[in-house]
Amino acid sequence: MLGDEKKSCNGLYAEVAQIDQEIVQKKRKLQDRDTWNVIFFITGWFLIVPFFFIDTKGSQEIEIEAFMARKKALMNIYSDKDCPPPTTVPASM
């Protein structure tokens, strides 16, 4: 993104940590979506209506991939600036 190169090491690290949190949240939503899709699929065999609520778009996966690409770009800038390793570890995925 425009202006990423101007960010400080701490700013880059903070954004990467925030992206890690967003990825974790998106993965939870993805699991919830999968659970509801299974429920709708099973009940759809008895009633036709639940088939209309199954989410097949894959938007969660696309968002997760976008966040991971953004994180990779920020980490490249972080290493190009020769930033010291952070004192704390960001939230894991």
Q: How far apart are CA 8 and CA 85, in angstroms?
A: 13
Write down the pTM of the prediction.
0.58
The alpha carbon torsion through 51, 55, 57, 61 (nearest 10 deg) reads -150
pLDDT digit string (tens) for the chain, length 93 residues? 777 888 888 888 888 889 999 999 888 887 777 787 777 777 766 666 555 666 666 777 888 889 899 988 888 888 888 887 766 555 554
**Alpha-carbon distance 4 to 89, whole Å?**
21
DSSP string, 26-90: HHHHHHHHHHHHHHHHHHHTT-SGGGGG---S-HHHHHHHHHHHHHHHHHHHHHHTTPPPPSSPP
